[in-house]
């Protein structure tokens, strides 16, 4: 029996990935896992839940209360402002970086996978994560964590990241092919009722829709001039 | 400022290791971290607390409630019996193995270390862990997890396992040099008031004291014939 474990944040990348895992026909069972780590945008968990329910997959939301001890990130410390522009692209890690988040989350997913006898764990890392300086979204990270988990002699797990070379545009296009409803995805790092349209996450999302030539169905707290943005051809 | 993060279970190995980290003079700050993962022998946490308090170090006990989803181990599933003898030595992983426990715990310690700006994380893996078939206590595991964490460009962390080549006898002897009080360490995998003296963990502990030529000061639920065991010379 082929099983996969898919961490899902509720954002575009992991939502497309979960849709892929469910619809690719490779797996008899797909298990979605979300993490409540005190992120200011925990609204994303509702979106993850909605997606998992819609796809009819088992969904666990895991509380990682200990993230209160890891307080150097804007995402988990309300005293630190979320980085606001895409100008932080480059090599340094921004204040949005949460120390070792991906390594922790994937290690937990591997443990769940082993106990479920699943051999595939997905990681939603995409091109933009490397561009944003997240070391734990890079190809090197994928190779190294797979080298580590392959030492488990009893149970083999492969961690796969099919989006890692893909731009946001390509991921959105793939999502459209997979019938993903993007109005039910959440990207914004701010924890407000509507997406801000200004943080690094919103900016990259909006740019992705511009590049894909379609309007983002999500509502933002400021008006996004889509008709102008999409008519620059 | 030199800082270290030391996961401490309350057992002999990690207790000796914490004593070493505090007393070696290399660190200005030592932070101890214990994990409550629903282990049947959570009594060990009281021993860890006592050791940390005695050494005057900061001690966090982190709840990992999600281990309820990882229920293939005798340590976290009360329906599975703890392996009872040392005859399980060898290559296979016993029912006492908790999937990816060390990878998860060390990843969390790395995250805490990064947020504290600590550059050293200790791992209490010892020779017996490899002998017991725990892939996540081997030299290969140490190399692979260090390769992974070294990809973090912003903050360098070295995970060190000074006990990894040491036998239980050598660790006990080192502990004696470091003034460790072994009556305040807990090893037994059973969650009972007194150590059982029969599980794989007790067996290896008792053998360690026999090899070191001294009596274990811990009280067992059955009489251990120390004078006979220590006079086989």
Partner-chain contact A107 B100, CB within 8 Å: yes
User: CB distance from A43 to chain B under 8 Å?
Assistant: no
Distance from CA of A80 to the nearest CA of B (A): 14
End-to-end CA distance of chain A: 49
Q: What is the CATH number of the domain that holds A13?
A: 3.40.50.620
User: CB distance from A178 to chain B under 8 Å?
Assistant: no
pLDDT recorded at residue B166 = 97
pLDDT of residue B87 exceeding 80, the answer is no
Partner-chain contact B111 A100, CB within 8 Å: yes
Q: What is the total count of domains within chain A?
A: 1
The answer to whether residues A6 and A18 touch, using CB atoms and an 8 Å cutoff, is yes
The answer to whether residues B175 and B12 touch, using CB atoms and an 8 Å cutoff, is yes
- CA angle, B186 as apex, B135 and A111 as ends, to 5°? 30
Q: Using only C-alpha atoms, what is the Rg of chain A?
A: 17
B93: nearest CA in chain A?
A154
The pLDDT mean for chain B works out to 90
State residue B133 phi and psi, 5-degree precision: 85, 15
Given A98, A111, A148, which is nearest B70 (Cβ)? A111
Name chain B contacts of A104, Cβ cutoff 8 Å.
Answer: 104, 107-108, 111
Partner-chain contact B114 A70, CB within 8 Å: yes
User: CB distance from A54 to chain B under 8 Å?
Assistant: no
Task: Give the distance, in angstroms, between the CA of residue A169 and the centroid of all CA atoms in the same chain.
Answer: 15
Distance from CA of A60 to the nearest CA of B (A): 9
Name chain B contacts of A92, Cβ cutoff 8 Å.
Answer: 154
A142: nearest CA in chain B?
B148
Q: Which residue has the higher pLDDT, A79 or A29?
A: A29
The complex scores an ipTM of 0.89
pLDDT tens digits for range B153-212: 889 999 999 999 999 999 999 999 999 999 999 999 888 889 999 888 899 899 999 999
The answer to whether residues A101 and A93 touch, using CB atoms and an 8 Å cutoff, is no
Whether A222 is in a domain gets the answer no
Burial readout A168-200 (b: 16 or more C-beta within 10 A, e: otherwise): bbbbbbbbeebebebebbbbbbbeeeebbbbbb
Partner-chain contact B115 A141, CB within 8 Å: no
On the CB side of B34, CA atoms within 13 Å amount to 27
Two structure tokens written together for B135? 């892939």
Q: Which residue has the higher pLDDT, B79 or A62?
A: A62
pLDDT of residue B51 exceeding 50, the answer is yes
pLDDT recorded at residue B217 = 96
- Average pLDDT of span B26-52: 92
Partner-chain contact A140 B151, CB within 8 Å: yes
Q: Please state whether beta strands A120-122 and B29-36 pair in parallel, antiparallel, or not at all (unpaired).
A: unpaired
Whether B33 is in a domain gets the answer yes
The pLDDT mean for chain A works out to 90
- Average pLDDT of span A5-18: 96
Distance CA B221, CA B197 (A): 7
- Average pLDDT of span B92-116: 88
Q: How confident is the model at residue A91 (pLDDT cuts 50, 70, 90)?
A: very low
- Of the candidates B107, A110, A106, the residue with the CA atom closest to the CA atom of residue B123: B107
Whether A208 is in a domain gets the answer no
Partner-chain contact A135 B152, CB within 8 Å: yes
Given A69, A103, A114, which is nearest B115 (Cβ)? A69
Whether A211 is in a domain gets the answer no
Q: Is A168 helix (H, G, I), strand (E, B) or coil?
A: helix
User: CB distance from A72 to chain B under 8 Å?
Assistant: yes
Q: Domain span at residue A130?
A: 3-75+82-180
Whether A205 is in a domain gets the answer no
- Return the residue matching tokens 């996004």: A224
Q: How confident is the model at residue B14 (pLDDT cuts 50, 70, 90)?
A: very high
Partner-chain contact A148 B145, CB within 8 Å: yes
The answer to whether residues B194 and B221 touch, using CB atoms and an 8 Å cutoff, is yes
The answer to whether residues A70 and A98 touch, using CB atoms and an 8 Å cutoff, is yes
Whether A191 is in a domain gets the answer no
- Average pLDDT of span B41-64: 94
Query: Which residue of B5, B65, B151 to mutate against A (max A Cβ within 10 Å)?
Result: B151
Given B70, B144, B152, which is nearest A148 (Cβ)? B144
Whether B185 is in a domain gets the answer no
Whether A50 is in a domain gets the answer yes
User: CB distance from A218 to chain B under 8 Å?
Assistant: no
Partner-chain contact B148 A114, CB within 8 Å: no
pTM greater than 0.95 (yes/no): no
Distance CA A98, CA A95 (A): 8
SS3 content of chain A, % helix, strand, coil (to 5): 40, 10, 45
Give strand ranges (E) for chain B.
3-7, 29-36, 58-63, 120-122, 158-160
H or E stretch at A13: helix A12-23
**Mean pLDDT lowest for which of A29-33, A62-66, A188-192, B17-21?**
A188-192
Given A101, A108, A110, which is nearest B66 (Cβ)? A108
Given A70, A101, A107, which is nearest B112 (Cβ)? A70
pLDDT recorded at residue B95 = 67
CA distances from A100 to A71, A129, B11, B207 (A): 12, 14, 27, 38
């Amino acid at each position: 029996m082929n099983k996969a474990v898919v961490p899902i944040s509720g954002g575009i990348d992991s939502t497309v990935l979960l849709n892929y895992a469910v619809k690719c026909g490779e797996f008899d069972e797909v298990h979605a896992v979300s993490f409540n780590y005190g992120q200011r945008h925990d609204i994303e968990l509702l979106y993850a839940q909605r997606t998992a329910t819609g796809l009819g997959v088992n969904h666990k939301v895991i509380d990682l209360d200990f993230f209160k001890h890891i307080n150097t990130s804007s995402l988990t410390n309300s005293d630190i402002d979320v980085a606001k522009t895409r100008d932080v692209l480059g090599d340094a890690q921004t204040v949005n970086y949460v120390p070792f988040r991906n390594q922790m989350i994937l290690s937990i997913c591997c443990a769940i996978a082993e106990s479920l006898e699943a051999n595939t764990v997905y990681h939603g890392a995409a091109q933009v994560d490397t561009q944003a300086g997240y070391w734990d979204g890079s190809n090197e990270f994928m190779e190294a964590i797979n080298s580590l988990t392959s030492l488990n002699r009893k149970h083999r797990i492969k961690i796969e990241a099919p989006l890692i070379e893909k731009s946001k545009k390509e991921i959105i296009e793939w999502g459209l092919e997979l019938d993903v409803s993007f109005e039910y995805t959440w990207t914004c790092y701010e924890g407000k009722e509507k997406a801000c349209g200004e943080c690094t996450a919103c900016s990259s999302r909006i740019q992705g829709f511009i590049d894909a030539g379609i309007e983002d169905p999500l509502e933002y707290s400021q008006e996004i001039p889509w008709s102008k943005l999409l008519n620059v051809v």
